[in-house]
Amino acid sequence: MEIIDYLILISALQTLVITVVLLFYRSKKVHVNRYLGLFFATLFVELTIYFVFKVVEHPALYYQPFRFDFLSLNFLLFYAVETAGIQIKNKLHYYIPAIVEFLLLSVLFGIVLYNPEIHITFQEIYLNTIIYIASSIYIVIISIMIIRINGKHKQQLPHVYEVTKFKSLNWLTIFCVVCICFNVTSQLLRVFPDDEFIQIAFDSIYLLSLYYITIASLVQINIVNIISPKIEEKETKAELEHIIRIIDDYMVETKAYLNPSISLKTFSKEVKLPERLISKAINKIEHKNFNNYINYYRIEEFKKLLSMDRHKKFSISAIANEVGFNSRASFYKNFKEIVGVPPSSYVKDSSI
């Protein structure tokens, strides 16, 4: 076995392990992670077939139906869609290209298995090349769709979570960019099919990208970053004002804003109102997003504590931490945006 064979073997074993973990590990978002598990399952099959080529010499293997070129990226698309809270009317439509690929290759595999010489005819009409080009185009299209969905998810994160660190799907975007570059370049370089250096370079990029997405998947396996699906419904202004009164009353009564890890999702469960209604009411009536709304209450609480004698000996950062801010930088930024002056200036003016 060559070095590249050992690397592919290690990657295959690694892919098998991550497949089992993602499919059976009871994480906080198990239903979404299963799409990643299915994606890695298809990669494991493809890596396994690589070694079948090493052992079995038969032209029918060039048409084996377990290539999954029209299937693997679909699972990443569904993972991104579910995470971003985007609804797809009929997911079955996305399986049609994969079904066609499987049936076509199954027929071709059977034909060549029965009559190996027909492989030469298929080569002369560039059949495998046509299938490969079509699959590359499909992968590029799906990759672009995933990148766009990831962008929408990133825009929505600050409206749902106070802390967005490690919650974005940037890693998936990077992987999709690599997929696009890999497929486009591979088509442009088809004029050098027997260049050993190019083949090694492509195999190395493939294995590195596989290792990258494996690590990223494990890192995010328990990180909740799912945006609830948006259902378009029209509420009257009076209804939204009623929602705001409920939220305001709850805030005053429980001081939920003091919780530094509060998010739209957790607050929705506390107040027993849909996330969509809370977000829409705050946006339309208060002209803020959820985080701005929470930070407004925190700033007001800061002012209140600052006026109390028992807090005068506390530092600005200590009081900011007490009212729910995770960091000094976040507090200073939000204080200046809401009050109009830095906290230090406000404290100085208050003490005069």
- What pLDDT does 230 receive? 59
- What pLDDT does 275 receive? 86
User: Using an 8 Å Cβ cutoff, are 35 and 43 in contact?
Assistant: no
Do residues 92 and 200 share a domain? Answer: yes
Q: Decide if 224 is inside a domain.
A: no
- What pLDDT does 191 receive? 62
Q: What are the backbone dihedrals phi and psi of residue 26, each rounded to the nearest 5 degrees, phi first?
A: -85, 75
Q: Decide if 127 is inside a domain.
A: yes
Q: Model confidence at 238, in pLDDT bands (50, 70, 90)?
A: confident
Do residues 200 and 322 share a domain? Answer: no
d(CA 59, CA 71): 23
Q: What is the mean pLDDT of residues 138-149?
A: 96
Do residues 31 and 159 share a domain? Answer: yes
267-298 in b/e burial notation, b at 16+ Cβ within 10 A? bbeebebebbbbbbbbbebbeebbbbbbbbbb
Q: Decide if 283 is inside a domain.
A: yes
Is the pLDDT assigned to residue 315 strictly greater than 90? no
Domain boundary among 161, 185, 219: 219
Domain boundary among 151, 185, 219: 219
d(CA 99, CA 344): 65
Q: Model confidence at 351, in pLDDT bands (50, 70, 90)?
A: low
- What pLDDT does 314 receive? 84
* pLDDT, averaged across the chain: 88
Question: Does the pTM of the predicted model rise above 0.85?
Answer: no
Do residues 162 and 295 share a domain? Answer: no
- What pLDDT does 234 receive? 65
Domains held by the chain: number: 2
Q: Is the dihedral of CA 202, 203, 208, 210 positive or negative?
A: positive
Question: Environment class of residue 252 by beta-carbon count within 10 Å: exposed (0-12), middle (13-18) or buried (19+)?
Answer: exposed
Is the pLDDT assigned to residue 107 strictly greater than 80? yes
Q: Decide if 226 is inside a domain.
A: no
Do residues 265 and 345 share a domain? Answer: yes
25-58 in b/e burial notation, b at 16+ Cβ within 10 A? eebebeebbbbbbbbbbbbbbbbebeeeeeeeee
Do residues 198 and 98 share a domain? Answer: yes
Q: Decide if 228 is inside a domain.
A: no
Do residues 174 and 267 share a domain? Answer: no
Q: Give the rounded distance of the alpha carbon of 184 from its chain centre.
A: 23
Q: Tell me, what CATH number does 334's domain have?
A: 1.10.10.60
- 270-294 tens-digit pLDDT: 998 888 889 889 998 998 899 999 9
Do residues 198 and 280 share a domain? Answer: no
Is the pLDDT assigned to residue 128 strictly greater than 60? yes
Q: Decide if 225 is inside a domain.
A: no
Domain boundary among 219, 247, 262: 219
Tokens describing residue 201:
């370079």
Q: Give the rounded distance of the alpha carbon of 280 from its chain centre.
A: 24
- What pLDDT does 33 receive? 93
Do residues 249 and 304 share a domain? Answer: yes
Do residues 42 and 190 share a domain? Answer: yes
Q: Decide if 324 is inside a domain.
A: yes
Q: What is the mean pLDDT of residues 106-132?
A: 92
Q: What is the mean pLDDT of residues 88-97?
A: 89
Do residues 181 and 245 share a domain? Answer: no
- What pLDDT does 256 receive? 93
For 184, half-sphere exposure in the C-beta direction (CA atoms, 13 angstrom radius) is: 10
- What pLDDT does 1 receive? 64
Is the pLDDT assigned to residue 352 strictly greater than 70? no
Q: Decide if 231 is inside a domain.
A: no
Is the pLDDT assigned to residue 67 strictly greater than 80? yes
Is the pLDDT assigned to residue 162 strictly greater than 70? no
Do residues 285 and 340 share a domain? Answer: yes
- Cα dist from 347 to 98, 314, 315, 319, whole Å: 64, 12, 10, 12
Higher pLDDT, 160 or 6: 6
- What pLDDT does 312 receive? 72
Percent of the chain, pLDDT > 70? Answer: 95
- 181-237 tens-digit pLDDT: 988 888 877 666 566 777 777 778 888 888 899 999 888 888 888 887 754 456 788
Domain that holds residue 86: 3-219
